[in-house]
Amino acid sequence: MESTWSQVQSICDPAIDNATPVTALCWDPYFELLWVGNDNGRVTSYYGKGLQRYTSFKAHKNEQIRQIRLTDRGIISISPKSIQMRDRRGLVRFNISNEQTTDLHCMTTKTLTNNSELLVAGQQEEMLVINMARGSITSTVPDTSNIVVMRNMARSICCGSLSGEVTMRDTRTMRVEQRIQAHTATLSDLDVSGNILVTCGFSQRQNSLVIDPLVKVYDVRMAARSLAPIPFPSGPMFLRMHPTLSTTCLVASQSGQFQMCDVSSLAMGSYAPPAQFFQIQSSSYITAMDMSSSAQTLAFGDGASFVYQFADTDNFDINPYSMPLTTPDAVPQPNVAMADDSPLSSVGMPYYTEPLLSTWTTHSVFEAGCPPPQIDDEMIRSMKKIDFVGYAPNPGNMRRNQAPKKKRTTKEKRDVPKFRSEQERELLSSSNVILDEQGEPHHTGRRSSSVGDLHINDPLALTMPKHYQRVEIQYSKFGVEDFDFGYYNRTRYGGLETHIRNSYCNSLLQMLFFVKPLRNVAISHIKTSCPREHCLLCELGFLFRMLEDSKGQNCQATNFLRVFSTFPQAEVLGLLEPETPDHKTSYSMMIQTFMRFLLEQLHQEIDQMRDNPLISSALCLDNTSNDPASSSLPPPSVIQQIFGLQTLNHSKCSGCNHELSRITYPFVIDMLYPKKDQKMRKRSFTSILKGSMYRENQTKAWCINCRQYQPMAIKKVIQALPPSLLINSGAFKAEDTAMWRQNGPNMPKKQPSSDAGSQESDSGTDTNAYQSSWVPERFGVYINGTEIILKALPRGKEIPPEFNQSPKMCAIYELSSTILQVNADEDESHLVAQVKVPDVEQEVDDKSPWYLFNDFLVRRIRKEEVLSFKGTWKTPCVLQYRRVDSDEILDFSSLPSEVDYSLLFEDRSIAKNPPENPLHRVLSPTEMPRKGTLVAIDAEFVALNQEETEIRSDGTKSLIRPSTLMLARVSVIRGEGPDEGVPFIDDYISSTEKVVDYLTEFSGIHAEDLDPNTTRHTLVPLKIAYKKLRMLLDLGCIFIGHGLSKDFRTINILVPPEQIIDTVDIYHIRNRHR
């Protein structure tokens, strides 16, 4: 052939980050379309000479498209385990996937003219016969295994096998009529035209496969007769016969070289025209090829997801006669009138799923200086110079008191939701209300793009994503109830609010909530009658109960943080947050110290009750029986059993050789890093952790035998491993944090593609194998006598036998949560928690179990974000590892399970002069509330500080922060029964905090009412009143009152809507909207 082929254009899959090899190509003989199938199961069609994308759909789930065939009714595609037919718009006609489709490779119709029956074969025992009208398998052909290529002729079917044999089968009986051993090894492709059969394949040479450099040609009219082969030095891999010239063949290799040759001219020998080769400029290898029905254009696909189009003329046609194609309906453009004073926001923004080109980061914008002021011409004329300095008399025409112009610094605008009142007004004023799937009005409620809406193309989070920024509560004139917290949380897990002093503890509280052993202990503790007024374990239990019932609603840790701030040790340790934090505030150090203080305080509170049931079977309680001092120790507390690392501290005096041993339970492991002169990069996480757990050092201490300070040799030996292992990073220095970042994972490494193709997922599951992180996702600890062995255990690898022994000797830990300090450029640093939700509490099983808790912002994140610390914007603070066998070694049956309701039947008071004839009468045991019991409630509050407001330039007042209220009185009245209307709770609440406003005008509360020395009412601590309400809530009582949502919010208790009857909603005037 003397045609000159030239490349017209090349196209690529738009999802270049997920590009997969092209595995099938087919020109549509009916329409101006090119169909492309890839290794990931996606089929895409391109229209016209410009190859604009027409349709695209996922035909087969994560399976390779092995062949595409077109009929007048639709497109048929096969994958290893399924056959599917769709129309050209992507609608499914039929799909076959059962036990008969095990490994399919090829398909063809029975005859050239009849397209009603489809033959499908592959590396399986039987060939399938499919009725395309019904979309079902009608029959099978036995003894047809290992067929990889099929073509139909007028009266026979040509089948090429893996053994290099070509069999000719009768179209009526499907019996073998002829056998041709074309190649000694496997067959790569074959094609037929009239009576001409061409094949290409591999030969077996010295136990290896070699591409046969010849295209075999056969005449199959009677008995198969071999003709002169076609030489192709680069190795033929793909063959296509010319649709109109029966003796012309297109040959191509994997390297991108192709040739159009005439089979009949090969018999001419030296008189034949010279071969003309063409080269495809591809950076990968060729994987598919096809020729259009007009033979004027070719298409080639490669392993880099590129499709190349070639033509032999400028004005080419795809088909001689093409049918008109259905085009999408034209969307009318909105008529937007634009004038000089029209706002650009009236044009609107299109729907987008990736960052816009106009979205510039802060480091891409540079401040341009102002031009220098113009110097008066008179000054220049009168100027005199000495050396290089010029001076001139002041002309007196310049203004006085001039200051240089400075650009006002502005912070990056945050993504904040519109107030709920604004959203309601928009819905009421909009004539086109969009409904969601539940039929409710749907609106975005955004001021700008949503938090985390855009796809993050940074799997290791080298730059800080938006959802890690500090979130702030905005207040309207309606208060905090008007703020849309749901904008930041679409999950079922509750977040914790800010604008509360010491709210930096939110991250640790969220982490501890998902430590199920501690949650069980705290919730069981509030069922007992704890006598302590300020008990952090009680407050933790109340908070955990709220988070359990939240179902995605925002919660507050107000009561917990208020009790925490009353401890004098907290102020001494520097745990109280300053009123105005700045950039120097180290929240990383504060949260690590707070965690140690909190666990120690919880241990003391539960240990003082002398109720320490043994819940862990992994403790070693009998290995110190030789030491009388240690054998007489009381059993460890429940907190020690959950978090305590049972350690034998052995000290020996160098003066008198006196030895002393004692058992301790440190709750936290502080990471100890090597010194600067040591090679830090070669140290693994487990080696540093081992050095932090197992230590031998010399120190000067008091010897009780020598009665003086002596050098002591101290050795710490680990004896038992806790269910939960807490690690303080201690990364306060630059060289310490550099170790976390320098040893982090690099760019992702993809796994080798399997037969089914690469995985495609957008749900956060791990589709690629990432290089090992410096922080192991899982590691094992083995106690070998007085030493310990730590080893990282990557997933997918076999666990060494030493870590499969008794739970008292070894344990396998997996990363469960982390706390990070986020260092923003302009804002103060803040803390976030990354938590792996337990399997039983996950929303969706096939998605990532990791969640980010940034105060009241909660969202799902990828595991790579957790394991990577390469981003300089985050600093590790706390790591929490959980034993994988913690459910087996822990037994909570000995914890209190029955609630002590005696508090409801007693009238306790701390007043020195309690009322002799109170207006309320407490419940009797016969009046025990049950589910559905009606009670009326009313609460009064006092202000602990005034609200913060600012006056704007237009004279309007803006609320910066509302006043902090505290419960001062709560009254609960019987709503049914013979004593209906009689109160059974009427408690005044004592306060240790300073009250700035008793709100007497509204509440009727005076200062003497809350003083134990002067009050004439029932006065109780806040914990007592709160616990009564908690009991009524858990019993299922229904509360009746006015404005209860605001009251319960201030009380800091979460009541489900089905247990509230609010007169605000009953007597609501719908015409009076906000």
What is the structure's pLDDT at 816? 94
What three-state secondary structure class fits 372?
Answer: coil
Helices 536-549 and 587-608 sit at what angle, rounded to 10 degrees? Answer: 110
Distance CA 978, CA 277 (A): 103
What is the structure's pLDDT at 253? 95
Structure tokens at 108: 């063809």
449-614+722-745+772-898 and 900-1074 share one CATH topology? no
Give every strand in the sheet of 1060-1062, ordered side by side: 1019-1020, 983-989, 964-974, 934-945, 1038-1041, 1060-1062
Query: Do residues 1047 and 939 touch, judged by C-beta distance below 8 A?
Result: yes
What is the structure's pLDDT at 507? 94
What three-state secondary structure class fits 520?
Answer: helix
Q: What is the DSSP string of 534-588?
A: S-HHHHHHHHHHHHHH-TT--B--HHHHHHHTT-HHHHHTT-SPPSS--TT--HH
Helices 536-549 and 516-525 sit at what angle, rounded to 10 degrees? Answer: 110
Query: What average pLDDT values come out for the chain (1074 residues) when binned by 10 residues?
Result: 82 73 94 94 90 91 92 94 93 93 92 82 93 92 91 91 93 91 92 93 87 93 86 93 91 94 68 76 93 94 93 91 86 79 77 79 73 82 86 80 64 59 60 44 43 46 81 75 79 89 92 94 92 92 93 90 92 87 84 94 85 76 48 77 90 85 90 70 82 81 83 87 92 83 52 38 38 82 88 86 86 94 81 91 80 92 87 90 91 88 91 86 92 94 86 73 89 93 93 88 90 92 94 94 90 92 77 50
Q: Residues annotated as binding site?
A: 938, 940, 1047
What three-state secondary structure class fits 341?
Answer: coil
CATH class of 6-311: mainly beta
Structure tokens at 825: 């450029």
Q: Which CATH number fits domain 449-614+722-745+772-898: 1.10.10.10, 3.30.1020.10, 3.90.70.10, 3.40.50.880?
A: 3.90.70.10
Supply the pTM of this predicted model: 0.60
Residue with token string 């593609």: 753
Query: Residue 175 class from Cβ within 10 Å (0-12 exposed, 13-18 middle, 19+ buried)?
Result: exposed
Domain boundaries, the chain: 6-311, 449-614+722-745+772-898, 900-1074
Q: What are phi and psi of 1071, to 5 degrees?
A: -75, -15
The distance from CA 287 to its chain's CA centroid, rounded to whole angstroms, is 35
Query: Which pairing describes strands 964-974 and 934-945: parallel, antiparallel, or unpaired?
Result: antiparallel
- The one-letter code for the residue type at 1036 is G
User: What CATH number should be reported for the domain whose range is 900-1074?
Assistant: 3.30.420
Query: Do residues 40 and 761 touch, judged by C-beta distance below 8 A?
Result: no
Q: Residues annotated as binding site for a divalent metal cation?
A: 938, 940, 1047
What is the structure's pLDDT at 438? 41
Give every strand in the sheet of 659-664, ordered side by side: 659-664, 647-653, 708-718, 696-703
Q: What is the DSSP string of 936-970?
A: EEEEEEEEEE--EEEE-TTS-EEEEEPPEEEEEEE
What is the structure's pLDDT at 407? 59
Distance CA 266, CA 196 (A): 14
Distance CA 769, CA 165 (A): 40
